[in-house]
A and B are shown apart, each in its own frame.
Chain A
Amino acid sequence: MSVLDVLWEDRDVRFDVSSQQMKTRPGEVLIDCLDSIEDTKGNNGDRGRLLVTNLRIIWHSLALPRVNLSIGYNCILNITTRTANSKLRGQTEALYILTKCNTTRFEFIFTNLVPGSPRLFTSVIAVHRAYETSKMYRDFKLRSAVIQNKQLRLLPQEHVYDKINGVWNLSSDQGNLGTFFITNVRIVWHANMNDSFNVSIPYLQIRSIKIRDSKFGLALVIESSQQSGGYVLGFKIDPVEKLQESVKEINSLHKVYSASPIFGVNYEMEEKPQPLEALTVEQIQDDVEIDSDDHTDAFVAYFADGNKQQDREPVFSEELGLAIEKLKDGFTLQGLWEVMS
């Protein structure tokens, strides 16, 4: 089981999660905690607390802790500051977060109820930026500029543990001879003949590491997570002893990584917030048995594009000479435009 397939924190937008899911996972750290933040879109008029971790933003109501949101950075399309209308503050500057999660777009608006404090904007935007610019730690990469002059370009928190020469990549008929770099974050292979033919596989994206028989003989097979595209990569290392030794090394590093993942999101706050556990309010168990199927429709309030879960497929429009979203039956492009303008 790869770390990734249980890692949902940065890749999902969830509503009204359980207290278990509110807690930080291994490798996740709380970066900032802001009191008096209003979720202007879904809970206008309700005072809440915003927690910024290295993987997601959590908002929960102070009055009802089970009213909460968890927004993973990977879903965020865009963060802007705009003017919003808050019940508690009136017209005020607010943080707009546009997200896309499983083809559904959600929009979130947060308002800082403490006037004149830009911290809400600065810390969320900066941490998201830090997340965006550290994708090499987490993303499966093909043919990227990770190799320069046959050397691995190291990431800030990365250390090379081993370098294995003579590794054949079995993705083509004749195979490609290359080199493995094994670090604390990922495995990188590159072709000796072509620096830009390479693969960077963070442990985060590894689903399984096996030795399997292939038409080239015994080979190391790395299966990447579903999220990254479910690639199956075959590598051949001669002799077999060396292959087994390498697999053992990779496996143990993978285990170490899974226990405490390095996500690479670094953001220094001047004042350290309290640990998340100290801040989370224990949810009071209701006496009444709640039917777990009865999901809240809380997410409805956050739709970015009306009650539309999914975009229709694109088609080419002769009228504009551009690709457009397929029109609903009975609509014409001109009709739509003229109604609007």
Chain B
Amino acid sequence: MSLFKARDWWSTVLGEKEEFDQGCLCLADVDNSGNGHDKIIVGSFMGYLRIFSPHSVKAGGGPQAEDLLLEVHLRDPVLQVEVGKFVSGTEMLHLAVLHSRKLCVYSVSGTLGNVEHGNQYQIKLMYEHHLQRTACNMTYGPFGGVKGRDLICIQSLDGMLMVFEQESYAFGRFLPGFLLPGPLAYSPRTDSFITVSSCRQVESYKYQVLAFATDADKKQEMEQQKLGSGKRLVVDWTLNIGEQALDICIFPLNQSASSVFVLGERNFFCLKDNGQIRFMKKLGYNPSCFLPYCSVSEGTINTLIGNHNHMLHIYQDVTLKWATQLPHVPVAVRVGCFHDLKGVIVTLSDDGHLQCSYLGTDPSLFQAPKVESRELNYDELDVELKELQKIIKDVKLQGVWPLTEQEDDLKVSASVSSTLDSVSQATNVEPGADSVPSITVKITLQNRVVLQKVKLSIYVQPPLQLTCDQFTFDFTVPDMTSSVAFSVYLKRNYTPSELEGNAVVSYSRPTDRNPDGIPRVVQCKFRLPLKLICLPGQPSKTASHKLTIDTNKSPVSLLGLFPDFANPSDDDQVNVMGFRLLGGARVTLLASRTSQRYRIQSEQFEDLWLITNELILRLQEHFEKQGTKDFSCSFSGCVPLQEYFELIDHHFELRINGKKLEELLSERAVQFRAIQRRLLTRFRDKTPAPLQHLDTLLDGTYKQVIALADAIEENQDRLLQSFSGLKSATHLLILLIRLWQRLSADQTAILEAAFLPLQEDTQELGWEETVDAAIAYLLKTCLSKSSKEQALNLSSQLNIPKDTSRLKKHITLLCDRLAKGGRLCVSTDAAAPQAMVVPGGCTPIPESDLEERSLDDSTELFTNHKHLMTEPPMPEVSARQGVLE
């Protein structure tokens, strides 16, 4: 952006909503007045032809009425205006006007009156040519070196050059390989036409070659204009410039040479007569028009280039000499001489702003000076200042936003349908023996105020699947209610670790000061029924894993507890109930007839969890209904750590396996690329060499890569399944520890945070190391035996461990310490960098491709952050402290 501006010498606005382009402006002494003053000739696409003779604008006035010499409406659109010696027998200047189907040549004459407004001007049509082809542009000059007259060459839209020798039509030739018309110019020095073709190359055609292209069409001279000639034209030279051109100009360099200037869309070229590049200049802007206008020093040419940023640049060859701001985007630029002022820049914009300007030489480094005369109203300002200070104070007191009203902004409720869907919505399920049912969940949102960007995301534990997990809403008016329904089903052949689903709504609440809104989150949990993943089954007496839960109340009929799983065929078996999970595993629930005990047994340890949890929940519900308040469950002794450790080992083994496979894959890929490289050099070699079985090797490696990739995918599937099992088992373990030690809700929360830190585990950050770190922290702080142990070692990074023995040791130790009366508590006086270790506080960063989904799931991370919405900026740990205090 230049600091200089073009100074307005004379300007006017042409017409009403007319359009103009680069051919529409021409400067010449068109009325042959002989005083050397240029007239400005402007044609418009609306068919108006105007001739101006500008006078310097007198102080205080606009352009004068007498500056307009002539205005005529020609009816047809004017594509181009040129002035030259177009009429035979005279060397007077005449005006050629190109319409789309017509070429007209006029003489412009003036008769002077006594006063300025008595001068009258007239145009007289000398001759016209009707064109058989729609014209695009034209050029003129002494074609073939004729003296004292100018010939006209018109390029049609379909690529024919039509040459007119003044009043008569000479010939027409098609340009070879023509697609779209480009700019056209005539070089008198080489007697050739220069254009830029659709092949993005500058092409030069000799006039002689054009004229003598073929004799064949001489016979059909009458038809010539219609048909053109068939013979191929030979191009004189071409130069590839790799872009479309806006304009071409020929400018004489010295006595014996001229330069061809081509303005491309991004570059500006100067070529010699023979098509060699003299120089080129890369333009850092989008040019709109150009004009080589003079040679200030020997051997260089000055050029004006206008651009779409309202700028006009002046180059001496490739050196930028000046730049000035224009009020409009010029589509055509000329330099003229008016009334003793030489070098006036005339620009025309596409909407008809015609301006004659000179270059301003005062840089405008403008800054608004202070206006002193307007007094300030101090009382008002004082009031405003006080008000603002009050707002600042309020915000400081209340926190970033007022919390009181937040609850009411949006109400979210979820309702799970009481029955399974009559037609299951499950699609793409893994083939299995059972048909997979689905259940409908309905989420209802009710807003109090206008909200923006309301988005609902729903998360359920894999392998449960939703028919749709993202919804957007539009709450443009207050007090709207919208609801959405979706179905949940089991997608894969194993058991999810939880039946709870979570709906999270994020929205922005616009306020007066923040129209974009303050982002907020509301969440709502729902519980899916057991029958979604479980069918009634045959109870089995024997099982490898058994659990016994004690209660303090007399046993309840299992049929009463699980009416939805009652098997009508054997109602006598009131104390036995069988479940068959959709994955295929069986779980049997036994109620003791005499004692207050329940037994859950299964072949798989992790399958016990869902049923056990369901049993306890239903028991609690049952007794609550009866009005019994002091119901409690307990678990006596011996937490089944061994079974739990087996699951950990299995999960860990799969992780190690995955790591190995990935390493193998990376090796194979390196090998594959090496073979490819060798093969490529073989093939590129000019002397063919035997492939030496490299192709076989390539093929073999390729197969290995594919097989490894398949194995990784399969391993990932198994890892997912194993992780789900591990999570189930962990839930069970926590439940058992809770029942066993009668832990409070707060302590259970700490245990959950320690044992279930991740939604999904990855190679980079897995379950084992995070849990180990969390448990080690617990052991070193609240469960430590002596203060010696409390020395925290936080430096180590979380890496995948070599084996699981350390973790197992720590878990065993944790159980031991809890058994010996240790209390879980994360107290405030503990060392500050807790956040680093307590795993719930750090969010795993999803990295592997497996984690794509976790972007959607990220909302789920909020599940542990119960206080996030009320104390937003604080980390998770402090939130929990608040509870414990």
Q: Show the binding face of A for B, using Cβ within 8 Å.
A: 41-42, 63-64, 67, 74, 77-78, 98, 100, 102-103, 115, 132-135, 139-145, 148, 169, 171-173, 176, 191, 194-197, 199, 227-229, 231-233, 296-298, 300-301, 303-308, 311-312, 314, 316-328, 331, 333, 336-337, 340-341
> Knowing that A41-B368, A319-B321 are A-B contacts, what are 20 other residue pairs whose CB atoms are under 8 Å apart, sorted by A's residue number?
A78-B327, A102-B59, A135-B13, A143-B68, A173-B113, A191-B120, A196-B120, A196-B121, A231-B115, A301-B368, A301-B369, A306-B364, A314-B358, A320-B302, A320-B343, A320-B359, A321-B302, A324-B361, A328-B362, A336-B363
Establish whether residues A305 and B361, one from each chain, have CB atoms under 8 Å apart when the complex forms.
no
Interface string of B677-709 (1 = CB under 8 A from A): 000000000000000000000000000000000
CB distance from A102 to the nearest CB of B (A): 5
Task: Output the least CB separation between B61 and chain A (Å).
Answer: 7
A340 touches B363 (CB 8 A): yes
Q: Pick the residue among B68, B322, B363 that contacts A320 (CB under 8 A).
A: B322
Q: Are A314 and B9 touching (Cβ within 8 A)?
A: yes
Identify which of A67, A100, A134 contacts B374 (C-beta below 8 A): A67
Q: Interface size of B by Cβ–Cβ distance < 8 Å?
A: 70
Q: How far apart sit A317 and B294, CA to CA, in the bound complex (Å)?
A: 12
Shortest Cβ distance from A173 into B: residue: B114
Q: A133-B16, A311-B7, A323-B344 are in contact. Are A297 and B122 (CB under 8 A)?
A: no
List the interface of chain B (C-beta within 8 A of A): 2-5, 7-9, 13, 16-17, 48, 59-62, 64-66, 68-73, 111-118, 120-123, 293-294, 296, 302, 314, 320-322, 327-328, 335, 341-345, 358-366, 368-369, 371-374, 377, 380, 515
**B361 to nearest A CB, angstroms?**
5
Chain A residues within 8 Å of B322, by CB:
320, 333, 337
Q: Could you tell me the distance in whole angstroms from the C-beta of B340 to the nearest C-beta in chain A?
A: 9
- Contact between chains at B327 and A322 (CB < 8 Å): no
Q: Which among B16, B48, B114, B368 has the highest number of chain A CB atoms within 10 Å?
A: B368
Please determine whether B371 and A77 come into contact, CB atoms closer than 8 angstroms.
no
Residue among B71, B112, B114 having the largest count of chain A Cβ atoms under 10 Å: B71
Contact B65 A140 (CB under 8 A): yes
B7 surroundings in chain A (CB, below 8 A)? 311, 314, 325
Task: Please report the C-alpha to C-alpha distance between residue A77 and residue B13 in the assembled complex, in whole angstroms.
Answer: 10
CA distance A166 to B345 in the complex (A): 44
A77 near B72: Cβ-Cβ < 8 Å: no
Bound-state Cα–Cα, A194 to B2, Å: 47
Residue of B at shortest CB range from A74?
B62
Say whether A229 contacts B72, CB under 8 Å.
Answer: no
Q: Report how far A82 CA is from B255 CA in the complex, Å.
A: 49
Report which of B70, B114, B328, B343 forms a contact with A143, defined as CB distance below 8 A.
Answer: B70
In the complex, the chain A residue whose C-beta lies closest to that of B369 is A300
Whole-angstrom CA separation of A299 from B72 in the bound complex: 42
Give every chain B residue within 8 A of A316 (Cβ-Cβ). 341-343
Shortest A41–chain B CB gap in Å is 6
Instruction: Say yes or no: A142-B327 contact (C-beta < 8 A), given A63-B377, A301-B369, A314-B9.
Output: no
In the complex, the answer to whether B362 meets A322 with C-beta atoms within 8 Å is no
Say whether, besides A171-B118, A233-B117, A323-B358, A42 and B364 are in contact (CB < 8 Å): no
Cβ–Cβ < 8 Å partners of A317 in chain B: 343, 359
Contacting residues, chain A, for B123 (C-beta < 8 A): 196
Write out the residue numbers on chain B whose beta carbons fall within 8 Å of the beta carbon of A312: 361
| Contact partners of A144 in chain B: CB under 8 A | 68, 71
* Residue on A nearest B57 in the bound complex, by CB: A103
Closest to B6 in A: A325
Smallest CB–CB gap between B6 and chain A, Å? 10
Establish whether residues A325 and B71, one from each chain, have CB atoms under 8 Å apart when the complex forms. no
Q: 8 tightest A-B contacts by CB?
A: A171-B118, A172-B113, A197-B120, A323-B358, A133-B16, A314-B358, A321-B294, A322-B343
Tell me the bound Cα distance from A169 to B114 in angstroms: 11
B120 A325 Cβ-Cβ under 8 A: no
Nearest residue, chain B, Cβ from A139 = B65
Taking the nearest CB of chain B, how far is it from the CB of A318, in angstroms? 7
For residue B16, which residues in chain A have a CB less than 8 angstroms away from its CB?
Answer: 133-134
A227, B61: Cβ atoms closer than 8 Å: yes
Contact A229 B65, beta carbon cutoff 8 Å: yes
Cα distance A232–B59 when bound, in Å? 20
In contact, B515 and A115 (Cβ under 8 angstroms): yes
B368 lies within 8 A of A77 (CB): no
Whether B68 and A141, one on each chain, are in contact in the complex, defined by CB atoms closer than 8 angstroms, is yes
Q: A144-B71, A297-B372 are known contacts. Are A325 and B3 too (CB-CB below 8 A)?
A: no
Smallest CB gap from B344: residue in A: A323
Q: Which of chain A's residues have a CB closer than 8 A to the CB of B345?
A: 322-323
Q: Is the CB of B60 within 8 A of A103?
A: yes
A108 vs chain B, min Cβ distance (A): 12
A199 to B294, CA, bound (A): 39
* B353–chain A nearest beta-carbon distance, Å: 9
In contact, A336 and B361 (Cβ under 8 angstroms)? yes
Complex CA distance for A75 and B461, rounded to whole angstroms: 71
For A145, list chain B residues within 8 Å (CB). Answer: 48, 71-73
